[in-house]
A and B are shown apart, each in its own frame.
Chain A
């Protein structure tokens, strides 16, 4: 397995030429966009994530406000998370509350495709499970976005300030970061829960976001520490640029790749964290629903009514998987050293162009 490399080395100069040809005359942003669009897995994930978000949000509608004065935009799905359907569905095998969704066409299992009254089945008291899962997925996405935004903002600001100014600012802020690392978010959650009662998912996401920027700030700080020593920063300073200009115009655009990538990873982690906290009972609490809560509630009914367990899990995985792939695509797109795979077609085209010349 070690032998193959020598041949590759020989052809490397040729491949570099092919790869360089593609980026001629393009701005950094254009190169990144092109590379990202070409990353197949990332594009598929992006499209399916957008589809999933639209589907989930339109299905159950948007519900804001508290219980006394709710602000609701109803979705297209005809059951809400509190509607109980007294007529439980019964599958042909006699299982009560079974999913009516049938995606196999009739030439495979002979029954044909159908959505039915309750595509994801019903829970033990007759609530429509599709509505519950949609609502849970909605919560997860909201939590993910809020955590990502807050953590990205605080992490970047702290990292940039400490990395750029160094000295006592760095010392103080990094010790503050160490301090935040030691505090478990669960404790803060339970304090807030006790003092103010259940404040809903947005609040949960906000305080989780306030505790999840530490890793990002360390990363950004490292990036700034090394970028500020580079020649182009010196050049800008000599040319009379002030600190704000150097940070925003010269350093930040070079660090934005690292930031975006680690924020996407943070977001996929956040979705798992939220469901884990809800699973333990420290996150979203009933009567509100979240995917973690649904799994925790129905994990014992796995053998008898498996759909109560499968669907929420599937949605967590699908969302997190999409985010991860998008992050991977972005990482590849932002990495200047990353070379695209040179296919046989590329080689043939390069040869053809050479011959023509």
Chain B
């Protein structure tokens, strides 16, 4: 409580300072004063009246504060922007855009970064470790505005050109195959013979898969179909069971496999449901049914110790449901590309949505939003996940050196249990606080990304406010981002002490 009140005082103080600093930093009427427009004088008078420019800044701050504090009596008023638009509306419109832009990227970055970080820590000093370390540092050192131009050129325009003539040339087939072979070989590891086998299998599978995809024109009309989905589901079932409970727990494996079969059975009914209108409700319904089924199935297969089995089955079923959804999007891909608005160039380089696309079709609009998110998300992900690789690697290595890990191994627990249950959970403690602060930072942070990709989010508003000396707008954006960052720091501290009881906050 004491810290919370201190935070409020800080927010008042910093908003007061920022208000006055930005008020003296520029004259909002400068452009009008030198303008030759006959209406200029009139405009100056109007703006002065509306923005109360005749009141000196320190006093004007309290007028502004009165509006903001109106939040407590139900009438929040952040004032007007220069274009006589309500700041509240502008900020409220920008926040969802920013969230759409950064949340996806951050989540992907966290998941990928932590996974790779853990694998590199387990394979410390291997070639994979060195390669990933180099890769992470390279991404760390990339300025996003530079990197984004490359992405636009090679990923977007290159891929669009490729789609015009979707034939994969032999060098690409071989190259991608070799890359995948190298990747899997070094991730899985083992003695030399095993690595070479894995390399050969992965390389040949990838090459032939890509060749096949090119041959059947998959890039224009992609889809997974029930059979591929079933195969992948079985794989997912095995993988999740292995990570979550270990393959020796037969009930977990059986119930996950049962979910894979159920996924196959439910494929066609789901297609029908997804094609109906009222999509959001359908999604919620499908989600509930999926989780309900998973719980039911695990009750059938597990008689005792149901918790881990239920957890495993739910994870598996969510991934399988995700596969079916991806398949649905892939089916939409072909028709989407052939619409006039897209015209076989599906990866856009700027903008949030394609205005030419006719509204009405849920799948088209969603796919359109996703395609516009693609490039910024890739750029943001690549840049921010390097940090997670490094942090999770360092954190896991630190944990693996602790005595309780030695104890766990000495008790004869399997390596899987030691890593997943003892080490992984403790690795997550410092990472959680990092994530909280990161999430708060990105709400106001993506100024440059927004500018490069032409999105109108918080960053753009901020930039615009500074450039046009729009004080109320600036303060609106500032208040949101400052509150977020202060709260996140508080939350991180509290979370830390909750997760790690050894740490005390305050007295």
Contact = CB atoms under 8 A, between A and B. Distances in A.
Interface of A: 1-6, 9, 41, 171, 175, 178-179, 181-184, 186-188, 190-191, 193-195, 268, 272, 275-276, 279-280, 282, 292, 295-296, 299, 302-303, 309, 312-313, 316-317, 319-321, 324-325, 328, 337, 341
Contacts of B7: 178
Contacts of A4: 189, 415
12 contacts: A1-B122, A2-B414, A2-B416, A181-B489, A183-B18, A187-B478, A276-B143, A279-B145, A292-B145, A312-B146, A316-B146, A337-B401
B482 interface: yes
A190 B9 CA distance: 25
B146 A182 contact: no
Given A178-B7, A316-B141, A183 B14 contact: yes
Interface stretch (B20-28, B39-47, B71-79, B283-291): B20-28
A296 B145 contact: yes
B17 A194 contact: no
Nearest to A337: B401
Contacts of A325: 137
B216 interface: no
Nearest to B26: A194
A309 B149 CA distance: 9
Contact of B489 (A178, A193, A282): A178
Nearest to B452: A299
A179 B7 CA distance: 9
Nearest to B415: A2
B10 interface: yes
Interface in B145-169: 145-146, 149, 153
Contact of A179 (B10, B143, B189): B10
Interface in B25-43: 25-26
A179 B447 contact: no
Interface residues of B, number: 53
Contact of B143 (A1, A188, A313): A313
A1 B188 contact: yes
Nearest to B138: A321
With most chain A CB atoms within 10 A of its CB, the pick from B9, B10, B125, B463 is B10
Q: Helix, strand, loop or mixed for chain B's interface?
A: helix
A302 B22 contact: no
B13 interface: yes
Contacts of B11: 182
B409 A5 contact: yes
B17 A183 contact: yes
Given A6-B415, A276-B143, 16 more contacts: A2-B415, A5-B415, A181-B486, A182-B485, A183-B14, A187-B21, A187-B474, A194-B26, A279-B143, A292-B145, A296-B145, A299-B145, A313-B143, A316-B146, A321-B140, A341-B125
Contact of A316 (B143, B189, B415, B482): B143
A347 B418 CA distance: 28
A338 to B, nearest CB: 9
Nearest to A215: B437
Interface string B338-351: 00000000000000
B138 A317 contact: yes
A327 to B, nearest CB: 9
B149 A188 contact: no
A139 to B, nearest CB: 14
B14 A179 contact: yes
A190 B10 contact: no
A191 B57 CA distance: 14
Contact of A320 (B133, B141, B153, B418): B141
Nearest to B119: A1
B138 A182 contact: no
Interface string B400-434: 01000000010000111011000000000000000
Given A179-B10, A183-B14, A299 B149 contact: yes
A321 B386 CA distance: 13
B357 interface: no
A190 B25 contact: yes
Contacts of B189: 1, 4
Nearest to A303: B153
B302 interface: no
Contacts of B25: 187, 190-191, 193-195
A167 to B, nearest CB: 10
Contact of A188 (B10, B21, B188, B448): B21
A186 B466 contact: yes
B100 interface: no
A91 B26 CA distance: 47
B60 interface: no
A268 B448 CA distance: 18
A330 B26 CA distance: 45
Contacts of B311: none
B228 interface: no
Contacts of B414: 2
List the 3 closest pairs (A to B, CB-CB), nearest first.
A320-B141, A2-B415, A191-B25
With most chain A CB atoms within 10 A of its CB, the pick from B26, B141, B451 is B141
B197 to A, nearest CB: 15
Nearest to A282: B466
B1 interface: no
Contacts of B22: 187, 190-191
B448 A280 contact: yes
B111 interface: no
A292 B137 contact: no
Contacts of B144: 276
A175 B145 contact: no
Contacts of B6: 171, 175, 178
With most chain A CB atoms within 10 A of its CB, the pick from B13, B140, B146, B463 is B146
B419 A2 contact: yes
B142 interface: yes
Contacts of B143: 272, 275-276, 279, 292, 295, 313, 316-317
B489 A280 contact: no
Given A279-B448, A324-B137, A182 B145 contact: no
With most chain A CB atoms within 10 A of its CB, the pick from B134, B137, B451 is B137
A182 B419 contact: no
Interface in B95-143: 122, 125, 133-134, 137-138, 140-143
Contacts of A309: 146, 149
Nearest to B420: A2
A251 B462 CA distance: 42
A292 B448 CA distance: 12
Nearest to A184: B478
B451 A324 contact: no
Contacts of B416: 2
Contacts of A182: 10-11, 14, 482, 485-486
Nearest to B401: A337
Interface string B468-496: 00000010001001100110010000000
With most chain B CB atoms within 10 A of its CB, the pick from A41, A181, A186, A325 is A181
B24 A181 contact: no
Contacts of A276: 143-145, 448
B18 to A, nearest CB: 6
A302 B141 CA distance: 20
B447 A280 contact: yes
A154 B414 CA distance: 48
